[in-house]
Amino acid sequence: MKLRLIAAVCLTLLAMKSFSEDKKFYIFICFGQSNMEGNARVQAQDTIGVDSRFQVLQAVDCAGRGRTKDNWYTAIPPLVRCGTGLTPADYFGRTLLANLPGKIKIGIINVSVAGAKIEVFETNSYQSYLATAPVWMKNIVAEYGGNPYERLLALAKLAQKSGVIKGVLLQQGESNTNDTLWTQKVKGVYDNLMKDLKLKPKKVPLLAGEVVNADQNGVCASMNKIIATLPQTIPNSYVISSAGCPCSADHLHFTAEGYRLLGRRYGETMLSLLGYKVSEINKPELSSVNTITR
């Protein structure tokens, strides 16, 4: 009788799991610093015609925008906190939808902290790092409950109840410029995510974007040499080029156009990893239609 009860409970749990998880809802974890938050002002073209199949899991409460944390919304920017701007994740998601079958949905999770080193996501060092951080950075972290990694993890676990995590996007490095241990630190965060979310690294690629390129006189462009070595430390990782992506006057942040271009490149890489061959890359802001093969 006891064995029958246990079997019944297991079957019920499996049924609930299969019912709640939509295998056609692709979830992507995004994190980083200001260029993943989005530093450029959102423009009209970025808010018009956003497909409802593109969703964001709200990271913080934004009463002024009618959004409550831990709920899904159509991914109209901002996708991070209430006052952040356009991010690579915006046009990453749009590029995927423009090239994937209509039955697929895309979900974004984004927890990013402007100005922060990768250490802010390290479970064993974030507290000591934040102890000497400026007040404005501490205020950002406070919106995430004081622990950015734990907030990212909580959102990811919640998202797993709705869909399947297909990849991780990282846009970070300016504050770690010339840090030769950066790749190991990123690996530590990535490995923690894989372990804590019970994911297999071979099935969940990490896409890491370059900082503002030397061709745009990027003030942290030397960091791209270190970012380029990430696949040597994390086999299933891919570097997204920032070459030709316009930047703002500070040569540290991308312009809206730069974020759109960088986001499309993230999307193109992910499409390839998902097994799709794009015959003509779509530019989402032009609302053109693409042909894909698989």
- The answer to whether 250 is a known catalytic residue is yes
User: In the prediction, which pLDDT does 278 show?
Assistant: 62
Chain mean position to CA 121: 14
Active-site residue (options: 34, 112, 175, 242): 34
Q: 48 φ, ψ to 5°?
A: -95, 135
Cα-based distances in Å from 29 to 11, 213, 293: 30, 24, 26
Cα-based distances in Å from 212 to 31, 79, 118, 138, 177: 17, 21, 17, 25, 12
Q: Residue 67 and residue 291: Cα distance in Å, rounded?
A: 35
Token couple for 89: 């994740």
* Residue 10 belongs to some domain of the structure: no
* Residue 122 belongs to some domain of the structure: yes
Residues in the chain: 294
- Mean pLDDT along residues 186-198: 98
* Residue 152 belongs to some domain of the structure: yes
Q: Residue 9 and residue 107: Cα distance in Å, rounded?
A: 30
CATH of the domain at 258: 3.40.50.1110
* Residue 17 belongs to some domain of the structure: no
Strand order across the 25-32 sheet: 72-74, 54-57, 105-112, 25-32, 164-171, 206-209, 237-240
User: In the prediction, which pLDDT does 201 show?
Assistant: 98
Q: Residue 87 and residue 96: Cα distance in Å, rounded?
A: 15
* Residue 13 belongs to some domain of the structure: no
Residue 15: band (very low, low, confident or very high) from pLDDT cuts 50, 70, 90: very low
* Residue 213 belongs to some domain of the structure: yes
Instruction: Tell me, yes or no, if the pTM score tops 0.75.
Output: yes
Mean pLDDT of the chain: 91
290: pLDDT strictly greater than 50: no
Q: Residue 261 and residue 6: Cα distance in Å, rounded?
A: 53
What domain range includes position 41?
23-293
Query: In terms of Cα–Cα distance, which of 167, 154, 210, 159 is closest to 29?
Result: 167
Which amino acid appears at position 174 of this protein? E
Active-site residue (options: 250, 279, 287, 288): 250
pLDDT tens sequence across 167-184: 999 999 999 999 999 999
Count of the separate structural domains present in the chain: 1
Query: In terms of Cα–Cα distance, which of 224, 222, 220, 230 is closest to 186?
Result: 230
- Mean pLDDT along residues 11-38: 78
* Residue 12 belongs to some domain of the structure: no
Cα Rg of the chain (Å, integer): 19
